Amino acid sequence: KAGVTQTPRYLIKTRGQQVTLSCSPISGHRSVSWYQQTPGQGLQFLFEYFSETQRNKGNFPGRFSGRQFSNSRSEMNVSTLELGDSALYLCASSEDGNYGYTFGSGTRLTVV
Amino acid sequence: GDSVTQMEGPVTLSEEAFLTINCTYTATGYPSLFWYVQYPGEGLQLLLKATKADDKGSNKGFEATYRKETTSFHLEKGSVQVSDSAVYFCALSDTGTYKYIFGTGTRLKVLA
């Protein structure tokens, strides 16, 4: 079956702009989580959604937000972009969040 | 809070050498433990997992045993191949938190 699909693969944005990243989970998976990966901070948890409800949130500023739709697809939004937001953003899906996650290939965001 | 500590890389080995990547954890509960692998330009792939003490996870010749007494989950492989060159991440997840805490990753380079 198809894996976790993230779009777009690459993005270049200017400071101050906003960006929306998209994630389509594996069919039947209802839990979707997001991570930020940077060389300095490594992999950090952003948030997790299950059946359109956010169940957990990491320590990121309010500029980072997300949502999940009824078909389990998820989006994350970053407003007022800063240079430090440049990172690989990874989406992962799981049946219910307790049996291991499958990751997508990520969206590489560059803020200039 | 919970944390994962991995050995510093890079680890450079010759083909067919024995591999050990150390991973220790700190957790308040009884977490599940995971090893993920990341190839260049890609997302994370689940390599193996263990959900309770003394469980042994194994896949593609890799194995790791959940040791509660030493709070460790070391990754081993008896004979590495050039194709095993990648970054390996150890992670934990406490039931009900729906998130991973990752180690910093260990880069493995296997020479022919």
Handedness of CA A91, B39, B77, B3 (dihedral sign): negative
Per-residue model confidence as pLDDT tens for chain B (112 residues)? 899 999 888 999 999 999 999 999 999 888 999 999 999 888 899 999 999 999 999 999 999 999 999 999 999 999 999 999 999 999 999 878 888 999 999 999 999 9
Structure-block tokens of residue B91: 């992670």
**Interface check A89 vs B, CB under 8 A:** no
**Cβ neighbours of residue A32 closer than 8 Å, sequence gap 6 or more:** A23, A25, A48, A49, A50, A68, A72, A73, A74, A91, A92, A93
Q: How high does pLDDT run on average in chain A?
A: 95
The model's pLDDT over A73-103, given as tens digits with 9 standing for 90+, comes to: 999 999 999 999 999 999 999 988 777 899 9
Distance CA A100, CA A7 (A): 22
Contacts of B93 in chain A (CB under 8 A): 98
Verify whether the Cβ–Cβ distance A103 to B105 is below 8 Å: no
Distance CA B43, CA B88 (A): 12
* DSSP code per residue over A45-89: EEEEEETTEEEEE-S--TTEEEEE-TTS-EEEEE-S--GGG-EEE
Verify whether the Cβ–Cβ distance A103 to B49 is below 8 Å: no
Verify whether the Cβ–Cβ distance A105 to B105 is below 8 Å: no
**Residue in chain A nearest B104 by alpha carbon:** A42
Structure-block tokens of residue B72: 């460790």
Alpha-carbon gap: A45 to the closest alpha carbon of chain B (Å) = 7
The model's pLDDT over B86-105, given as tens digits with 9 standing for 90+, comes to: 999 999 998 788 889 999 99
Verify whether the Cβ–Cβ distance A106 to B43 is below 8 Å: yes
**Interface check A42 vs B, CB under 8 A:** yes
The percentage of chain A sitting over the pLDDT mark of 90, rounded to a whole number, equals 92
Q: Could you tell me how many residues make up chain B?
A: 112
Q: Could you tell me which of A53, A74, A96, A68 has the C-alpha nearest to residue A4? A: A74
Pairing of β A53-57 and β A64-68: unpaired
Q: How high does pLDDT run on average in chain B?
A: 94
**Interface check A65 vs B, CB under 8 A:** no
pLDDT range class, residue A1, cuts 50, 70, 90: low
The model's pLDDT over A9-32, given as tens digits with 9 standing for 90+, comes to: 999 999 999 999 999 999 999 999
Calculate mean pLDDT across residues A51-57. Answer: 95
